Chain A
Amino acid sequence: MFELLVISGKGGTGKTSLVGALAMLAKNKVLVDCDVDAPDLHLLLHPEEESSNEFWGGYKASINIERCTRCGLCEEACRFEAIKDFRIHPVFCEGCGVCFRLCPVGAVEFKQLAVGYWYISRTNFGPLVHARLGVGEENSGKLVTVVRQAARNLARERGLNLIIIDGPPGIGCPVISSLTGVSLALVVTEPTVAGKHDLERVINLARHFRVPTVIAINKFDLALEKSEEIEKYCAQQGLEIVGKIPFDEEVNRALSRGQSFLTVKHSKAACAVTSLWEKLQVRLGS
């Protein structure tokens, strides 16, 4: 089974639009949205939910006011400043359990909560596994792991040999959970100073976890000299550029209709992504 992760480091480089297009090109695959705190892929794929599952995240503490003797021990011990005036703010509680174990009168309740949902859905382009984490919640990495496992199980059940993952931005916990163990990471960047800076960080992250990496430059023609800088950098690093996608107004126009730009035949972006997909298939070994 081949797992292809599409990430970007910097947000807004066109990662989800690219995944939406790959969804139309690739056959026999499971699609996964691992950007669990701001998932967008469903806006392109219009999934029909087949099953929805609760995500049990970490624990949260709360104080039973009637039992609490206001000794203040818990507030002093909590390292996350989640306790104030004998009340625990759920957004700041990291669920470590220190207060619960410490309270001399058993006034702290400590429960695991459902903090999100994950879904298996049907789309015109194959099954989609996606999720939604409650706002302000932690454990996005854990939810990513759950979603990826569900996708692998689904692929096995249905005899599909490719998983395409839309990853989260950044380099932190949900990105690390998305990256570990994938077969190939496709990093989508843009020709800007910030795009190049963030690309370097995410490449180093992929290297840290020993994940083979290829690059795509989106809207490469908006700043040709910056694109060249990125190409030079990738050459130095021994990284293949599998595609350069031109700026194309059809991308956003199609998006506002809730469609992938690939539906606009012969558009500049569609042609570029089609040839990108051909190069990727070589890497996927098919």
Chain B
Amino acid sequence: MKVAVASGKGGTGKTTVAVSLALALGGSVPIQFLDCDVEEPNGHLFLKPVYTREEEVTLLVPEIDENKCNYCGTCAKICNFNAIAVAGRKVLVFPELCHGCGACSRFCPEGAIREVPFRIGVVASGRAGSIEMVEGRLDIGKPLAPPVIKAVKKHAQPDKDVIIDAPPGTSCPVVAAINGSDFCLLVTEPTPFGLYDLKLAVEVTRELGIPCGVIINRSTSTDGDVEKYCYQEGIPVVLKIPFDQRYAACYAQGHPLVLKFPEWIPAFKELWQRIVGMVKKGV
């Protein structure tokens, strides 16, 4: 089973949920935790893994052979991402803008373009107790998160239960992170910002055909609007975590909720069982 934990709005408690779920299940079944929030990976701050491997994530970007190039300008015209410019007798490559699509090298009439790896991030892997952990980190100043996310997801093993910590938002990095999951947990908070962004996140899961359930974090007496929305849309509210000063302090110090408050372990185990049930029934 592959379960993604996402949220349209950032800071709603996505990592708290993903980490708690991994720790609650970790003792009994093999769990893989994939931190796909590669712009701001936080899972390691709570799980404190020991990383034993680090691999670079690279994109294939063009390199021009000046001996073969006749400055025809075809590559610049073909590139849809403005990553190549031909100015007089000079070809300029902007690797930060390149998507690594391979169009320029494929269609250069002179065969003057070779593809070379360009580093955009790293993937670290190791263990946190019984949990196998993989984390992606986008290099500072590199714009493209999706290739790093995809590199993290390559580590997912089919025989394990996989928990994915997805990035916030609703655009391409989120799609890259949650695509292929059996279920998506959407963590929200009962504020107008939380509800508005939840609606957008639900649209993403529908676009990808992934069933979802909602977790209301920092739940108070003001949950009504979120619950009403979920009810209307037929989305189950699968867990509520009340607002509690002690939980906030626990999070601030970098402690996982279920380690400081083990009374939450059964709730996360039940949550997992419920998801398994829903996925099996195909809802």
Contacts and interface: CB of A to CB of B under 8 A. Distances in A.
Interface residues of B, number: 56
A2 interface: no
Nearest to A219: B248
A97 B106 CA distance: 12
A266 B99 CA distance: 51
A91 B39 contact: no
B193 A40 contact: yes
A80 B207 CA distance: 18
B213 interface: no
A47 interface: no
Contact of B252 (A136, A205, A223): A223
A174 B170 CA distance: 12
B207 A136 contact: yes
Interface in B35-55: 39-40, 42, 45-46
Interface in B202-260: 203-204, 207-208, 222, 248-249, 251-254
Contacts of A101: 78, 103, 107
Nearest to A141: B143
Contacts of B46: 193
B42 A197 contact: yes
Nearest to B42: A194
Interface string A126-156: 0000000101111011000000000000000
A6 to B, nearest CB: 14
Contacts of B196: 38, 40, 43
A122 interface: no
A226 interface: yes
A208 B141 contact: yes
Contacts of B271: none
Contact of B10 (A43, A135, A169): A169
A198 B42 contact: yes
A191 B252 contact: yes
B192 interface: yes
Interface string B16-38: 00000000000000000000000
B45 to A, nearest CB: 5
B10 A12 contact: yes
Contact of B173 (A98, A172, A176, A197): A172
B253 A223 contact: yes
Given A97-B103, A137-B172, A255 B193 contact: yes
A171 interface: yes
Range class of the A interface residue count = 35 or more
Nearest to A177: B143
Contact of A256 (B40, B222, B249): B222
B153 to A, nearest CB: 12
A9 B40 contact: yes
A92 B101 CA distance: 13
Most buried by B among A95, A133, A169, A204: A169
Given A40-B197, A226-B252, A194 B15 contact: yes
Contacts of B172: 136-138, 140
A97 B175 CA distance: 21
B170 A135 contact: yes
B168 interface: yes
B252 A135 contact: no
B200 interface: yes
Contact of A135 (B12, B106, B200): B200
A96 B80 contact: yes
A229 to B, nearest CB: 11
A176 B140 CA distance: 10
Contact of B40 (A77, A133, A171): A171
Interface in A205-262: 205, 208-209, 222-223, 226, 252, 255-256, 258
A12 B78 contact: no
Contacts of A59: 80
B78 to A, nearest CB: 7
B103 A98 contact: yes
A118 to B, nearest CB: 15
Nearest to A197: B45
A173 interface: yes
Given A222-B248, A255-B191, A169 B168 contact: yes
Contact of A12 (B11, B45, B101, B171): B11
26 contacts: A16-B193, A38-B8, A38-B197, A40-B9, A58-B80, A77-B106, A79-B100, A79-B101, A94-B99, A94-B101, A96-B103, A98-B106, A133-B171, A135-B171, A135-B204, A136-B172, A136-B207, A141-B143, A171-B140, A172-B138, A172-B144, A172-B145, A197-B40, A198-B40, A223-B253, A255-B191
Given A40-B192, A170-B169, 17 more contacts: A11-B9, A12-B189, A37-B200, A38-B170, A79-B100, A91-B175, A96-B103, A136-B175, A137-B172, A169-B39, A171-B39, A171-B138, A194-B15, A194-B45, A222-B249, A226-B253, A258-B192
Closest 4 CB pairs of A and B: A11-B10, A12-B11, A193-B254, A96-B101
